[in-house]
Structure 1
Amino acid sequence: MNDERMETKGILPLLVEFSVPAIIGMLVNAIYNVVDRMFIGNAPNLGAVGIAGITISYPITLVLMAISLMVGVGGATRFSISLGKKEKEKACIYQGNAIILTIIFGLLFTIFGNIFINPILKILGASNTVMPYASDYLSIVLFGAVFQCIAMCGNNFSRAQGNPKNAMISQLIGAGFNILFDYILIMQLHMGMQGAAIATIGGQFLSMIWQLFYLCSNRSLIKLDIEHLKLKYDYALDIIKTGIPAFLMQMANSVLNFILNSTLGRYGGDIAISAVGIITSFQTICQMPLTGLMQGQQPLISYNFGAGKDNRVKETLKYAIIGGTIIATTGFLAVELFPETIIRMFNSEIEVVRLGTKAIRIWFICLPLLGAQIMAANYFQCIGKIKVASILNLLRQVIILIPMILLLSMIIGLDGVFVAVPIADFSAFVITVYLFSKAIKKLSKVVYN
């Protein structure tokens, strides 16, 4: 990362430079969650029950993603702020400690996940019909925990070092392998859920190798040294603390999916779980570009905040919010114009298509507001305001949405689950805009928590 470029180059070109590769990378990353469901949903021996198996397993993969993002985002944020303050040695330590933390957490996740896999799936709502499919998939995916953790952490540091293209290439390599081997293992060799899982962890492994080679090479702005891998309590705590909002957001997703699957199973059975699994897959496609744009704004805001350049922070936010709104509105229009086509991409069973077409339109009513809400909430994490960022990240998915799902489903049944989503989106938007507006007026007085 060139200091002069970060402090003087036009914000819009910088945001495009950092965000476009991240958006492409995140769209590609969405393939990990989506492509398995598309192949499985269209496989003659799997179909809707196979999609239900992945949907039931999804909260576990979200917990792993939460851990990866906690360390990756937390470490990269502290790394960027340190560079902005010209504290290169501290940046080196944050990078090394983040990598070793991801390895430790990934290994623990693999061990404990496999020990308790069946009880966990039961708790998540797997029926006797779905259980074998979910178990076949998750038992293999768990062995890729370390691969995913290191790859995601490396992607965050590639962007923080001013090389977002490297993160994009890493994700393209992994996703390309996943797509190719999904086709080979599921459609040609008929390996079912196990084939989908093998393709997934194979792609994650390649992404990990790519990032490790980059971080340990001379191409890296700050080369990963063995001496910086030694855990230092204060630095590790800073990384975890700063990454808590990202962790909570993904954990909220996991808790939400658990509540969602349980409620859907109660009021609509496996068909409802399959239909909403398709909807959340498309939601991932819509939200990943927003996540990429958010990742693009992070190093710009963190660096310029650390350097005391408040006007550049505000300009970054302005363009990010405009871009996020355009992306979210595009997704909204796609849903309103082609709802049935979207559902049929994953599965063509009549009951799934009928329910999914109805639900997806309700689900995405407030999608155009999501871009601004995500960018504004992420601002607080970029500047180290952990408490506010954590609350705002939890608003949509826990504080508002989960109570709405439980309450409205009891009142109007299955439709209550669908209606709860736009209510939570709108409420979170209003609260976030209020807090963000107050914070921007006091930008020069911001201090770390």
Structure 2
Amino acid sequence: MLHKEFFRYVIPSMIAFAFSGVYSIVDGWFIGNNIGEAGLAAINIAYPITALIQATGTGIGMGGAILISISRGKREPEAQREYLGITMGLLIGVGIVELIAMYAFYPNILHFFGASGEIMDLGSEYIRWIIYGTMFQIIGTGLVPIVRNYNGAVIAMISMVLGFAANVLLDWLFIAILGYGMFGAAAATVCGQGLAIVPSLVFLLKEKKLFGYMKRASELKKLKEVLLVGASPFGLTLSPNIILIIINKNAIIHGGAGAAACYAVVCYVVYIVQMLLQGVGDGSQPLISQYYGVGDEAAVKKLRRMAYVMAEILAAVFMSLLIVLRRSIAIFFGMGAQGIEDVSVALPIFTFGFLFIGFLRVRTSCFYAENKNLNAYILIYGELVLVGILASAVLPQIFGITGVWFSVPVTQAILAVLGLIMSRKTRGKKERNTTMDNAAECCD
């Protein structure tokens, strides 16, 4: 029964995350082939702003969804209603604040990322329209985890796949056919996110009637809880983009434009695998949270074990596949002779980290699913700090550009060991508490 439940949640989640990983490849292909290198450079520089908007929605949505799921497990309907109300209020409120702030400061942000001249003009045109659609993006990404935690994993998958399909179709229409350029690319993204909201809203309004079930929170403590839990999935969603900026900068310093082009190809394929592995972790989260709320530790352990096994099998399969196909992948992305050689060297180094990512994505999801926020923070935000140190100040000084590539899997290996240590400490503490409780019962 538990196996069936596990796959019913995880498979749709993996498919949804895989499609979200392909988003960037499709956008990049249309823009590169129809607008040119300047357009591609502009969207890459502006993309962290888009990523921040979507990470905000994911963080708030996941924070609320986890606490809703734990409350369901504990049979606390009032708390469940309050968490739902807080989450919806935060999605709308934070969305409005972020829209205003981004619109006011986006030129400064683009300039900080290094945009100038034509790239600044194209990036501004693109990101301005992305910012206009902030509410669609925040609400769209925020509703998906809520739907998933209310036994709507298939609906959540449909929402993300529908958004992806609409984005591809509209990219083709707006860019390739109508020639709308950067505006067309931004409009396709925003419209895709807007359309993705529809299945989630229908599910919540008609199937579950949850918006009538919402209740305003009686205390600020619950709002703080949503934000604290949401900080983990927010960081997990945003961190690949920050790592991209760190590695890209150091690749240019130590290897020039050729190294940056090589890393762009590596990023495209590695990101899809990372999203698949995150799909395993986040797909198992609703069940782990629910059984954690019930207090069924045996079920939680079994679910964790299944998630680990599935993630590691996927990691091993994709690591082998990408190593074998590394030259073909470089050719597919139009790399020249030197670029093919560069990708052939760099891609296996990054795939080495898949085995550690598989463990980390599941372990991190388990930590925030069980409301162990500090442990999740250490693994998520520690990755950014370690990559920054290793890629900027340590490994490249010894190994050059190869050191930049190795900074990512080395960081993931260190954090995997740390995650294992924290997991064992948490388990040991829990066992000691159980022993003390049993001893107290005997004394009574």
Code of the residue aligned with 2:25 in structure 1: it is V
Q: Distance in 2 between matches of 1:268 and 1:18?
A: 43
Pick aligned residue for 1:437 from 424, 427, 435: 424
- Which residue is equivalent to 2:440? none
The change in CA–CA distance for 1:110 and 1:340 in structure 2 (over 3 A counts) is farther
The change in CA–CA distance for 1:224 and 1:345 in structure 2 (over 3 A counts) is farther
The change in CA–CA distance for 1:201 and 1:308 in structure 2 (over 3 A counts) is same
- Which residue is equivalent to 2:106? 117
CA deviation map 1:327-364 (0-9, x unaligned): 11222122201113323444445665454443222222
Q: How many residues align?
A: 433
Pick aligned residue for 1:379 from 366, 370, 379: 366
| Correspondence 1:175-186 to 2 at 5 A | 175-186=164-175
CA deviation map 1:35-61 (0-9, x unaligned): 1012223x15414x4333232223222
The change in CA–CA distance for 1:269 and 1:99 in structure 2 (over 3 A counts) is farther
- Which residue is equivalent to 1:40? 31
Q: Distance in 2 between matches of 1:259 and 1:82?
A: 39
- Which residue is equivalent to 1:90? 79
Q: Is 2:253 the counterpart of 1:263?
A: no
Q: Is 2:278 the counterpart of 1:288?
A: no
The change in CA–CA distance for 1:413 and 1:186 in structure 2 (over 3 A counts) is farther
Q: Gaps (5+ residues) in structure 2?
A: 435-444
Code of the residue aligned with 2:392 in structure 1: it is L
TM-score (normalised: structure 1): 0.89
Q: Gaps (5+ residues) in structure 1?
A: 1-9
Distance apart, 1:64 and its partner CA: 1.9
- Which residue is equivalent to 2:438? none
| Correspondence 1:128-167 to 2 at 5 A | 128=117, 130-167=119-156
| Correspondence 1:9-408 to 2 at 5 A | 10-41=1-32, 43=33, 45-47=35-37, 49-126=38-115, 128=117, 130-217=119-206, 219-220=207-208, 223-225=210-212, 228=215, 233-348=220-335, 352-395=339-382, 397-407=383-393, 408=395
- Which residue is equivalent to 1:5? none
1:38·1:346 contact (CA, 8 Å) conserved in 2? no
2:65·2:149 contact (CA, 8 Å) conserved in 1? yes
RMSD: 2.4
* 2:133 aligned counterpart, secondary structure: helix
Q: Distance in 1 between matches of 2:2 and 2:433?
A: 21
* 1:380 aligned counterpart, secondary structure: helix
The change in CA–CA distance for 1:352 and 1:106 in structure 2 (over 3 A counts) is farther
Distance apart, 1:151 and its partner CA: 1.4
Q: Distance in 2 between matches of 1:446 and 1:342?
A: 52
Q: Distance in 1 between matches of 2:48 and 2:396?
A: 21
1:155·1:211 contact (CA, 8 Å) conserved in 2? yes
* 2:151 aligned counterpart, secondary structure: coil
Distance apart, 1:321 and its partner CA: 0.2
* 1:195 aligned counterpart, secondary structure: helix
**Which stretch of the first structure deviates more once superposed, 193-202 or 170-179?**
193-202
Q: Distance in 2 between matches of 1:110 and 1:416?
A: 39
Q: Distance in 1 between matches of 2:419 and 2:335?
A: 39
**Which stretch of the first structure deviates more once superposed, 107-116 or 309-318?**
107-116
Code of the residue aligned with 1:145 in structure 2: it is T
Q: Distance in 2 between matches of 1:54 and 1:271?
A: 19
2:235·2:380 contact (CA, 8 Å) conserved in 1? yes
Code of the residue aligned with 2:177 in structure 1: it is Q
Q: Distance in 2 between matches of 1:214 and 1:444?
A: 40
Q: Distance in 2 between matches of 1:203 and 1:126?
A: 26
The change in CA–CA distance for 1:281 and 1:117 in structure 2 (over 3 A counts) is same
1:79·1:94 contact (CA, 8 Å) conserved in 2? yes
The change in CA–CA distance for 1:191 and 1:158 in structure 2 (over 3 A counts) is same
Distance apart, 1:133 and its partner CA: 3.5
* 1:228 aligned counterpart, secondary structure: coil
CA deviation map 1:170-212 (0-9, x unaligned): 1111111011111222222333333222111110001123322
1:96·1:225 contact (CA, 8 Å) conserved in 2? no
TM-score (normalised: structure 2): 0.90
Distance apart, 1:310 and its partner CA: 0.5
CA deviation map 1:277-324 (0-9, x unaligned): 332222221011212111221111111111111000000000000000
2:34·2:176 contact (CA, 8 Å) conserved in 1? no
Q: Distance in 2 between matches of 1:269 and 1:92?
A: 54
Q: Distance in 2 between matches of 1:181 and 1:406?
A: 39
1:60·1:254 contact (CA, 8 Å) conserved in 2? no
**Which stretch of the first structure deviates more once superposed, 115-124 or 344-353?**
344-353
Q: Which has the larger radius of gyration?
A: 2
The change in CA–CA distance for 1:205 and 1:230 in structure 2 (over 3 A counts) is farther
1:377·1:436 contact (CA, 8 Å) conserved in 2? no
Q: Distance in 1 between matches of 2:288 and 2:346?
A: 37
Distance apart, 1:438 and its partner CA: 3.1
Distance apart, 1:445 and its partner CA: 6.2
Q: Distance in 1 between matches of 2:71 and 2:302?
A: 21
Percent of counterpart pairs with the same letter? 27
Distance apart, 1:117 and its partner CA: 1.7
Q: Distance in 2 between matches of 1:244 and 1:71?
A: 8
Code of the residue aligned with 1:327 in structure 2: it is L
The change in CA–CA distance for 1:334 and 1:188 in structure 2 (over 3 A counts) is farther
Q: Distance in 2 between matches of 1:150 and 1:437?
A: 37
